[in-house]
């Protein structure tokens, strides 16, 4: 019998076992979430020069503390393991406190952040708005005329930013015959079927409006809105998504590792969920938002845009929407979640357990990257939020 390779010893399976059919399932996601670019065509979000990250210390003392997130007290370390955490990173007052990495997670390595990509895409929209090239109140057809006749045809850019588009589409992650599965084939995340390959824009422009509903009334979590926003940003700025992010976000943040974003057959960026970055660079994004759009003295976004994102929006549309059970007093603005907590915390959230949590009151930024076996786990989401609140006041 052949001895197991280093890869098999680390992950418990062989690299050829990971395919486009199974890459988002357990146990293969422990590797694929760090290496999405090997499975789906991807474009680079470049840094000027990749800089090795110095060690920032572990969280041994913090992880040994107990919290009650479910019915019984448990250590933070136990919860991180139970919730399939790959990386957990803590910043306080703009400084890295420490990080935890699972045995299979490369320290300071990239990890797909799924729908936190939406929050990053909104930052690019904010940058382009500040340049005077994007008007949130304008009809989307100002920038994408061919969207006329689709669900987006009579929506504004702000409707797209706030996911209040009346879109006839369901986020059915596990149904192989749904429109969502067709969506994933268009973005090259699922194996193609016989026939012509549909592009992501073609799919988006084919989506109908929800009968009898108007835009702006209800928060509807529909990922196509965010891919559509990525196209708006490119059209308004005249630049590719990756170039804009590299120059206007990654460079002023002093990001240390290039990012990646998956693309479709024509190179359209998967702006709703395809970004892979390091936990430390993602934390730098959170710190920039905590500091009102600046990072280490470099202005990236207007303070007014950050304030609107973290406090503005239509709370009634949120209460009528999909996620009010998770954050009853919360809100959603410019693709960031407002928790409604007294501390003013806000966050980006991605499926399979991805979190960027910012608590302005305690100057805390937390990143949690995970490989949870199911896309959505409501119980774990609630427990994660409780953990973040507890950790923010422990430090």
pLDDT of residue 92: 97
pLDDT tens digits, one per residue of 77-93: 999 999 999 999 999 99
**pLDDT per residue of the chain (395 residues) written in tens, 0 to 9:** 678 899 999 999 999 999 999 999 999 999 999 999 999 999 999 997 777 788 888 899 999 999 999 889 999 999 999 999 999 999 999 999 999 999 999 888 999 999 999 999 999 999 999 999 999 999 999 999 999 999 999 999 999 999 999 999 988 877 888 899 999 999 999 999 988 789 999 999 999 999 999 999 999 999 999 999 999 999 999 999 999 999 999 999 999 999 999 999 999 999 999 999 999 999 999 999 999 999 999 999 999 999 999 999 999 999 999 999 999 999 999 999 999 999 999 999 999 999 999 999 999 999 999 999 999 999 999 999 999 999 999 98
Domains of the chain: 36-138+223-394 (3.40.710.10)
Retrieve residue 388's tokens: 């973040």
Angle at 87 between CA 340 and CA 363, to 5 degrees: 40
How long, in residues, is the chain?
395
> Does the annotation count 32 as an active-site position?
no
Catalytic site residue from 32, 42, 83, 115: 115
Please report where in the chains the tokens 């399976």 appear, as a residue. 13
Query: How far apart are alpha carbons 132 and 84 in whole angstroms?
Result: 43
What whole-number distance in Å separates Cα of residue 73 and Cα of residue 219? Answer: 35
pLDDT at 55: 82
Apex CA 229: angle with CA 224 and CA 232, to 5°?
130
């Amino acid at each position: 019998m052949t001895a197991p390779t280093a890869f098999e010893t680390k992950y418990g399976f062989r690299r050829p076992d990971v395919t486009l059919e199974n890459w988002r399932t357990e146990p293969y996601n422990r590797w694929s979430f760090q290496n999405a670019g090997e499975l789906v065509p991807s474009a680079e979000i470049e840094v000027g020069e990749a800089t090795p990250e110095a060690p920032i210390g572990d969280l041994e003392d913090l992880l040994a503390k107990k919290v009650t997130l479910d019915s019984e007290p448990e250590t933070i370390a136990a919860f991180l393991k139970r919730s399939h955490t790959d990386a957990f990173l803590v910043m306080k007052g703009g400084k890295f406190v420490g990080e935890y990495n699972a045995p299979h997670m490369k320290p300071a390595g990239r990890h797909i952040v799924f729908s936190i990509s939406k929050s990053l895409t909104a930052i690019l929209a904010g940058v382009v708005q500040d340049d005077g090239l994007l008007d949130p109140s304008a009809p989307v057809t100002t920038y994408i005329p061919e969207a006329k006749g689709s669900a987006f045809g009579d929506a504004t850019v702000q409707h797209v930013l706030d996911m209040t588009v009346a879109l006839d589409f369901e986020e059915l992650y596990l149904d192989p015959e749904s429109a969502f599965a067709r969506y994933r084939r268009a973005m090259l995340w699922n194996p193609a079927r016989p026939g012509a390959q549909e592009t992501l824009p073609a799919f988006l422009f084919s989506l109908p409006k929800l009968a009898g509903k108007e835009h702006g009334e209800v928060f509807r979590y529909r990922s196509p809105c965010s891919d559509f926003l990525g196209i708006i940003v490119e059209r308004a700025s005249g630049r590719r998504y990756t170039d804009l992010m590299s120059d206007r976000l990654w460079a002023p943040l002093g990001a240390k590792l290039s990012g990646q974003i998956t693309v479709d057959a024509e190179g359209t960026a998967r702006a709703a969920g395809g970004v892979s970055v390091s936990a430390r660079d993602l934390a730098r994004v959170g710190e920039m938002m905590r500091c009102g759009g600046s990072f280490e003295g470099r202005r990236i976004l207007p303070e007014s845009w950050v304030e609107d994102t973290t406090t503005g929006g239509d709370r009634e549309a949120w209460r009528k929407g999909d996620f009010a059970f998770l954050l009853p007093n919360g809100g959603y603005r410019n693709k960031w979640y407002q928790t409604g907590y007294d501390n003013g915390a806000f966050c980006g959230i991605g499926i399979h357990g991805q979190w960027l949590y910012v608590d302005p009151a305690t100057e805390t930024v937390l990143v949690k990257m995970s490989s949870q076996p199911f896309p959505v786990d409501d119980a774990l989401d609630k427990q994660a939020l409780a953990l973040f609140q507890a950790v923010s006041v422990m430090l």
